[in-house]
Amino acid sequence: MNEFPRIEFNQPASAPTKKINIESDIQVFQKSVAFERISIGLFKFCQLCSGKQVPPGVLEYRLVNYQDDQTHENEFQNVLYTTDQVIEKYVTNRLVIAFLKILEDIRSKIDLHPPIENHSRYGNLVFRELFDDLTNDAENLLDTHLTGIVAIGNFDSYKTEAVYYLTNAFGSRARIDYGTGHELSFLALFISSVMCLSEPIDLNGTEILILFAKYLDLIRTLILTFKLEPAGSHGVWGLDDHFHLPYILGSAQFVDSLQNKQLTTIKPSSILNNSTVKRCCLNNMFFNSISFIKKIKKGPFNEHSPLLYDISNVKTWLKINQGMIKMYFGEVLGKHPVVQHFWFGTILFPWADKDGNPLPTSIVTE
């Protein structure tokens, strides 16, 4: 049994509000229950994904295929299972099944909002129609798929706060962009849902990888369909324009973090090898992300992705995994432009210390 802390519904829920207003609020955030829950969830997911693979038929090769040739380095390139097939073959956890069905329902909305033809490099305005559709349907999605699974007896309180993290996990309506802050919202939604289970149930790493792989593919579909701009990107010196979690989970797949040892003969330098990327991109999240970068960026890899190029010189996946986690705490959870959009309620992610005492709130003057 992989125990997660249990969230108690011992006070009224409240719609999440903005608490991180200025740079110094980051230090306050790092003392919060919210920060602790995110950290616990992330580390546990890494441990569970150790030595696991994304199973065949889960990730969509079309979204990451950056070569026109038809060679088959991976025998599953042309295999893509429906959500129901994925569940039937690989998933028994009721919570993961519910989240997969939520993602499938959101995916089906894309077909209802085809992008308009325009010549802009970024930002198809139809994305706002899709976002409004998702926002209007968010509570219904939670009702339909999570009732009777999460927060039994307190579901309305859960929903009051969870709906914020669901609607913010798929990009910004105003800016028509997507970045690691939105990725954080999805991570937080799933972590808090695990912690709100009325009865503890086992999670396994394969199911976690399946869920985040399906989320990743949905976001990539949005990016490619609606030309979502990178949110808060560091440009050429950033890790990735849109994502960070797949690099953590993908490197975790290759290591045993508890035993401090590597579980694969595939070397980090292989991310520069097209044949290896093609062979591994459907079963490993790190290689899948490398393949997507090569699809959407042109030119030499060392020029458009110098940080990843440098990472390829690291000797072990264990060091890479440790580095990816450290970078996440510094560049995502520790950066004001990212976490200022992560809001706080009173139940799931409270702005309170570990004893339940409210944390100080900065005063913002216009």
User: Residues 314-341: what's their mean pLDDT?
Assistant: 96
What are the tens digits of pLDDT across the range 7-52?
999 999 999 999 999 999 999 999 999 999 999 999 999 999 999 9
Q: Is the pLDDT of residue 69 over 70?
A: no
Spell out the domain ranges in the chain. Answer: 25-52+77-244
pLDDT band at 283 (very low <50, low <70, confident <90, very high): very high
Q: Is 354 exposed, middle or buried (0-12, 13-18, 19+ CB in 10 A)?
A: exposed
Q: What are phi and psi of 329, to 5 degrees?
A: -65, -30
pLDDT above 70 as % of the chain: 94
Report the pLDDT value the prediction gives residue 22, as an integer from 0 to 100. Answer: 96
Q: Is the pLDDT of residue 272 over 90?
A: yes
**Closest by Cα among 44, 5, 49 to 211:** 49
User: How many C-beta atoms lie closer than 10 Å to residue 158's C-beta?
Assistant: 24
Report the pLDDT value the prediction gives residue 122, as an integer from 0 to 100. Answer: 72
Q: Which tokens hold the place of 186? A: 């999805």
User: Residues 168-178: what's their mean pLDDT?
Assistant: 97
Q: Which tokens hold the place of 283? A: 């079963």
What are the tens digits of pLDDT across the range 215-244?
999 999 999 999 999 987 666 678 999 999
Put residue 289 in one of left, alpha, beta given phi > 0 → left and psi -120 to 50 → alpha. Answer: alpha
Residue with tokens 């199911």: 207
**Closest by Cα among 270, 279, 223, 278 to 251:** 270
Q: Which tokens hold the place of 236? A: 């050429």
pLDDT above 90 as % of the chain: 86
Q: Which tokens hold the place of 78? A: 């042309």
Report the pLDDT value the prediction gives residue 71, as an integer from 0 to 100. Answer: 55
User: Residues 156-161: what's their mean pLDDT?
Assistant: 98
Report the pLDDT value the prediction gives residue 1, as an integer from 0 to 100. Answer: 46
Helix (H) or strand (E) holding 134: helix 126-146
Q: Are 50 and 252 in contact (CB under 8 A)?
A: yes
* Residue 281 amino acid letter: C
Report the pLDDT value the prediction gives residue 2, as an integer from 0 to 100. Answer: 63
User: Residues 256-261: what's their mean pLDDT?
Assistant: 81
C-alpha torsion angle, residues 42, 81, 60, 328 (rounded to 10): 0
What are the tens digits of pLDDT across the range 110-126?
999 999 887 667 789 99
Report the pLDDT value the prediction gives residue 72, as an integer from 0 to 100. Answer: 53
